[in-house]
Amino acid sequence: FEEFPSVLDINKIRDILPHRYPFLLVDRVIEYQPGVTAVGIKNVTINDNFFPGHFPERPIMPGVLMVEAMAQVGGLVMLKPEAGGSKEIFFFAGVDKVRFRKPVIAGDTLVMRMNLVKFQKRFGIVKMEGKAYVGKNVVCEGEFTLAM
């Protein structure tokens, strides 16, 4: 079996991101260059709280939650880990050119890569590009704006 070695485990992620259950959508990080790029993993299970309503007969992960999970990986790129949690916060400010290519279902491993494109430090505006994969298939992609 292919192994995804963790660079940041869930405890380190919780030290960086302010999100908590049920809205923390990143389980671990397998590649991490602060201020540059990160690759995060979301293990999608039938126990995720969105599946009973989306859709009961054919459960798929909502696209907006894929986008949110990708934005959280983007936040990991920009925030710095500190003892007791990050003192910084970011806001999801917008998305452009988002495309959903394939449905994500229970049992899938969602692998999300977020890359910094531009950081306007004076205004605290971050532009990123992201792609999410299941296996070798792109399932979601888009351009993200975060406000620091």
**Active-site residue list:** 54
CA separation for the pair 86, 17 (Å, rounded): 7
Residues in the chain: 148
How far is Cα 69 from Cα 55, in angstroms, rounded to an integer? 19
SS3 state of residue 127: strand
Q: Among 15, 9, 76, which Cα is nearest to 43's?
A: 9
Distance CA 32, CA 12 (A): 12
Cα 66 from chain centroid (whole Å): 7
Query: Partners of 125 in the beta sheet?
Result: 120, 147
